[in-house]
Chains A and B, each alone.
Chain A
Amino acid sequence: EVQLQQSGAELGKPGTSVKLSCKVSGYNIRNTYMHWVNQRPGKGLEWIGRIDPANGNTIYAEKFKSKATLTADTSSNTAYMQLSQLKSDDTAIYFCAMGVYYVMDAWGQGASVTVSS
């Protein structure tokens, strides 16, 4: 069974950074793309970007190009997303997702990021 286990809730101060992790079991992340999606409180889903863990290539949605940095460690089968220069608007649930049989058919449980001084 494929499982994506995300790191826990984060509380960050404005202007700082946080790094979220997404550890995959049951599937080699070299064989897929890892996506990140956010959901602000009471709002819809928003695609942030994706990484090809096999070579580190990344694609970002335009609005997240200076906000998010995606990396992956194939030795630990884990994907990461760092969010920089945190603002209150970054308060959201962040999901990792990947394709097993299709593009985004396996999702993590989500990680809450709260930005507050």
Chain B
Amino acid sequence: DIVMTQSPTSMSISVGDRVTMNCKASQNVGSNVDWYQQKTGQSPKLLIYKASNRYTGVPDRFTGSGSGTDFTFTISNMQAEDLAVYYCMQSNSFTFGSGTKLEIK
């Protein structure tokens, strides 16, 4: 199975901060990594697909990059409504990272 190692587990941030989190795949997954946002009590929401493509309606402060085994997700200007847990997922055989929880400092 492909393991997605996501870091950090949590981050304490302030509104306006730049936020960066990472996912490392245990083997080459090409560009087949997606990023999801899950707010408390809600279903996950797709933000980024195929490593760097912003899904329809997603604000441009959300960006993704990477290929092969190393992937990065960035929120350029953190907003209060971005408080959530973020998950990476490789879509070759569908495994999720363990999530990164964003909390207000």
Contact = CB atoms under 8 A, between A and B. Distances in A.
A107 interface: yes
Given A95-B44, A104-B34, A109-B43, A47 B49 contact: no
A: interface residue count bin: 20 to 34
Nearest to B98: A44
- CB-CB nearest 4 A-B residue pairs: A107-B43, A47-B94, A45-B96, A44-B99
A105 interface: yes
A46 B43 CA distance: 13
B56 interface: yes
Contacts of A37: 44, 96
Interface string A12-50: 000000000000000000000001010000001111001
A45 B84 CA distance: 14
Contacts of B43: 95, 107-110
Contact of A35 (B1, B85, B94): B94
B17 to A, nearest CB: 23
Interface of B: 1, 34, 36, 38, 43-46, 49-50, 55-56, 85, 87, 89, 91, 94-99
B94 A61 contact: yes
A103 B51 CA distance: 13
A65 to B, nearest CB: 13
A62 interface: yes
Contacts of B49: 102-103, 105
Given A102-B50, A105-B49, A108-B43, 14 more contacts: A44-B87, A44-B98, A45-B87, A45-B96, A61-B1, A95-B43, A102-B34, A102-B49, A104-B34, A105-B55, A107-B44, A107-B45, A109-B43, A110-B43
